[in-house]
């Protein structure tokens, strides 16, 4: 069986180092907002190339905290893509705001920037692109749209699948370094993942840094002094220690993902399969293909003992919890990925033999 993502295999060499580090934390009793958290925040901000990083409990909270820190009027509008994980939309609702959906570009996993203008209104306060599958949105183009409005609209990007991705049009800049606020999930299956829920927020703005740091700790910067109605969303010390160790390998593992994706791009040659177009600087959190007969493809992959995934089988407006908010709205490119998309193994530890088998099996699909 070729596994979709084998975390145990990927991290096996790090386990003894991680266990040793955790034992030190046990001895110190430094569990909440401990030394390793501060260390990770410094390490991650340096890696990204931004001024500040704030650890939090998970990626959903990262977006919620980012939006709450802006102190926007209730039901202010946040423009986001119609295809992403549910957390992006749920966080907007949790922050008391209203998501406004824009379709993806055709056969791309990123928001159609040209359609953003048609969704702008007097209530638009945030544009939230998602770097889905690790493919990078052109943030400068969105900044140009915001500038032309001559209004105060914030750029807050969802970077949950783009750890280490470079802004292809700005080779020296990484995702998370140029928006007003950027939000990362550190869920175990991410390119940079903890061994439990975790998240991190980046910004270059000192005020945002101070407010978000306060909000994630029950609105407190000093014990028993609560300046805001915050939430309990702290990155715990053990997860931060694990992340500090794993961060060292992120560039190397991302390059492995890119090599696998390049192989798929070159050697998957089947008219029944459509390959998506990914950006320059993409780190391929997922490699998604499209096929008209997905149920047949699933049976075929199962028969050949190749694991796969769906990212995602429902667009945002198709989710049961959200249908009522987007009645009669259609987003054909997002709906196509939901209906036809299937994610291939992109585990950095895949051997050439495994990659060749996956490619051969896909080329024989009929």
The sign of the torsion formed by the CA atoms of 87, 92, 98, 102 equals negative
Q: How many domains does the chain have?
A: 2
Same domain assignment for residues 217 and 266: no
Give me the chain's average pLDDT, please.
97
Tell whether the model's pLDDT for residue 299 goes beyond 80.
yes
CATH code, 114? 3.40.640.10
Same domain assignment for residues 15 and 131: yes
pLDDT of residue 169: 59
Share of the chain above pLDDT 70, in %: 99
Q: What is the pTM of this model?
A: 0.97
Same domain assignment for residues 205 and 123: yes
Same domain assignment for residues 186 and 317: no
Residue 290's contacts (CB-CB under 8 Å, 6 or more residues apart) are 107, 273, 274, 275, 276, 336, 337, 340, 341, 342
CB 242 within 8 A of CB 195: yes
How long a stretch of residues is the chain?
366
Among 247, 276, 302, identify where a domain stops. Answer: 247
pLDDT of residue 172: 72
Which residue spans within 143-206 are E strands per DSSP?
Answer: 154-158, 166-167, 170-174, 181-185, 199-203
Share of the chain above pLDDT 90, in %: 98
CATH code, 271? 3.90.1150.10
Tell whether the model's pLDDT for residue 170 goes beyond 80.
no
Classify residue 248 by burial, with Cβ atoms within 10 Å: 0-12, 13-18, 19+.
exposed
Same domain assignment for residues 122 and 228: yes
With CA atoms as reference, report the closest residue to 200 among 88, 48, 347.
48
**299 is in which domain, residue-wise?**
250-363
Same domain assignment for residues 113 and 237: yes
pLDDT of residue 295: 97
Q: Average pLDDT for residues 223-252, to the nearest whole number?
A: 96
pLDDT of residue 167: 87
Same domain assignment for residues 190 and 260: no
Among 247, 270, 286, identify where a domain stops. Answer: 247
- Model pLDDT for residues 142-161, shown as the tens digit of each residue: 999 999 999 999 999 999 99
Task: Return the structure tokens found at 3.
Answer: 């596994």
Tell whether the model's pLDDT for residue 45 goes beyond 70.
yes
Q: Helices H, strands E: what count in the chain?
A: 12, 14
Among 247, 269, 300, identify where a domain stops. Answer: 247
> Helices 59-69 & 206-215, crossing angle to 10 degrees?
120
Please give the C-alpha separations between residue 212 and each of 5, 208, 335, in angstroms, as whole numbers.
Answer: 33, 6, 34
Distance CA 169, CA 262 (A): 19
- Model pLDDT for residues 64-80, shown as the tens digit of each residue: 999 999 999 999 999 99
Maximum distance among all Cα pairs of the chain, rounded to whole angstroms: 65
């Amino acid at each position: 069986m070729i596994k979709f993502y084998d975390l145990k295999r990927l991290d096996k060499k790090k386990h003894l180092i991680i266990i040793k580090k955790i034992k030190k934390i046990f001895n110190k009793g430094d569990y909440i907002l401990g030394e390793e958290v501060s260390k990770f925040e410094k390490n991650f901000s340096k890696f990204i190339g931004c001024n500040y990083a704030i650890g939090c409990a998970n990626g959903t909270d990262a977006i919620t905290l980012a939006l709450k820190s802006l102190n926007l009027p209730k039901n202010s509008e946040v423009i986001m893509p119609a295809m992403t994980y549910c957390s992006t939309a749920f966080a907007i609702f949790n922050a008391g705001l209203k998501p406004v959906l824009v379709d993806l570009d055709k056969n791309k996993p990123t928001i159609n920037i040209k359609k953003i203008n048609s969704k702008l209104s007097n209530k638009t306060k945030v544009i939230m692109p998602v770097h889905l599958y690790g493919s990078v949105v052109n943030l400068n183009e969105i900044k140009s749209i915001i500038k032309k409005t001559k209004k105060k609209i914030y750029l807050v990007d969802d970077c949950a699948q783009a750890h280490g991705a470079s802004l292809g049009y700005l080779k020296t800049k990484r995702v998370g370094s140029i928006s007003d606020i950027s939000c990362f999930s550190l869920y175990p299956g991410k390119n940079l993942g903890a061994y439990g829920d975790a998240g991190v927020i980046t910004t270059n703005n000192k005020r945002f840094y101070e407010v978000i740091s306060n909000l994630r700790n029950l609105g407190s910067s000093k014990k028993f002094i609560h300046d805001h109605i915050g939430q309990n969303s702290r990155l715990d010390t053990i997860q931060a220690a694990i992340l500090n160790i794993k961060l060292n390998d992120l560039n190397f593992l991302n390059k492995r993902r890119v090599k696998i994706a390049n192989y798929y791009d070159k050697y998957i040659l089947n008219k029944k399969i459509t390959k998506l177009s990914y950006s320059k600087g993409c780190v391929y959190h997922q490699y998604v293909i499209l096929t008209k007969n997905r149920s047949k493809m699933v049976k075929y992959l199962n028969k050949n003992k190749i694991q796969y995934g769906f990212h995602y089988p429902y667009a945002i407006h198709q989710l049961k919890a959200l249908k009522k908010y987007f009645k009669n709205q259609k987003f054909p490119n997002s709906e196509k990925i939901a209906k036809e998309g299937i994610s291939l193994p992109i585990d950095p530890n895949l051997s050439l033999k495994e990659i060749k088998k996956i490619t051969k099996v896909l080329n024989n699909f009929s």
